[in-house]
Amino acid sequence: MLNSSLRTLLLLALSLLVNVNIAFSGPPFNTDDPEPVDFRHWEYYISSINNHTPGTWSGTLPHLEFNYGVVPGMQLHVLLPMNYTQQSGHENMLGYADTEVGIKYRFMQETDNSPMVGIFPIVEIPTIKNNGFSDGKTKIYLPVWLQKSWGKLSSYGGAGYWINPGTNNKNWIFTGWELQYEFSKTLMLGGEVFYHTASTNDSKSVAGFNIGGSVNPSEKFHIIFSAGHSVTKDKTFSSYFGLLWTI
């Protein structure tokens, strides 16, 4: 049986990994796109991410996300996560994690011969003292995203660099690519592959995939979802389910 201090450190490591997954996700996928919210429009998400490794569940229950088109070609972003960890034989944990803020800026519009290109710098800010779900260090993510569409088929992806201070942490890289098809106004399906290097001194690189999409009962209300698995030895199953309102 793990003693109390070692158990706390283990749960902290798991919860920080979940928080990382939130930060680079473009709902419902890990890979993001360069397209910002339209000028003076909003996106509101209420969602849950769940990760399962043998003996452990962790994720958000829920997290809230807000995006606003502050000027043409630029959006402001805020994400508020309530994280949880459930491990066999140990006490369940639930608590607020670091607040995420960012700015998505599209600096190249898509044309017939060139993709859309944008950046989406994100900062994770320690908000409250919470040893279970925050190490108290500010983290920064610096990605570049590209997108190209051909009628109802579109594809996007890119890569980013995480500045990840903290005890036992190391800076790391994420890269991913997604392909999706709009079958109708009410249904879109797609999938992604992704890879990221180790984020701590004692962890390993991870590669995986997700499939998912959206069901759109109306122009303003969307049900978004995905599920997938790692293809490396960590044996991680992940899922995303969320509701999105666009106004």
Write down the mean pLDDT value for the chain: 90
Phi, psi of 145 (to 5 degrees): -125, 145
Contact between 105 and 17 (Cβ < 8 Å)? no
- The most confident of the ranges 86-95, 132-141, 160-169 is 160-169
Question: Residue range 92-121: average pLDDT?
Answer: 96
Whole-model pTM: value is 0.88
- Cα–Cα dist 224/213, whole Å: 6
Question: What are the boundaries of each domain within the chain?
Answer: 4-246
**Residue 225: pLDDT over 80:** yes
pLDDT value at position 5?
47
139-150 vs 153-163, strand pairing mode: antiparallel
Question: Residue range 80-109: average pLDDT?
Answer: 94
- Cα–Cα dist 85/211, whole Å: 24
Phi, psi of 242 (to 5 degrees): -155, 160
Q: With CA atoms as reference, report the closest residue to 245 among 87, 43, 46.
A: 43
Domain 4-246 class, CATH top level: mainly beta
Give the number of other Cβ atoms within 10 Å of residue 112's Cβ: 6
**Residue 53: pLDDT over 80:** yes
- Cα–Cα dist 168/165, whole Å: 9
- The separation between CA 89 and the C-alpha centre of its own chain, rounded to angstroms, equals 28
Q: Which tens digits make up the pLDDT trace of 145-189?
A: 999 999 999 999 999 999 999 999 999 999 999 999 999 999 999
* Contacts of residue 6, Cβ cutoff 8 Å, sequence gap at least 6: none
pLDDT value at position 131?
72
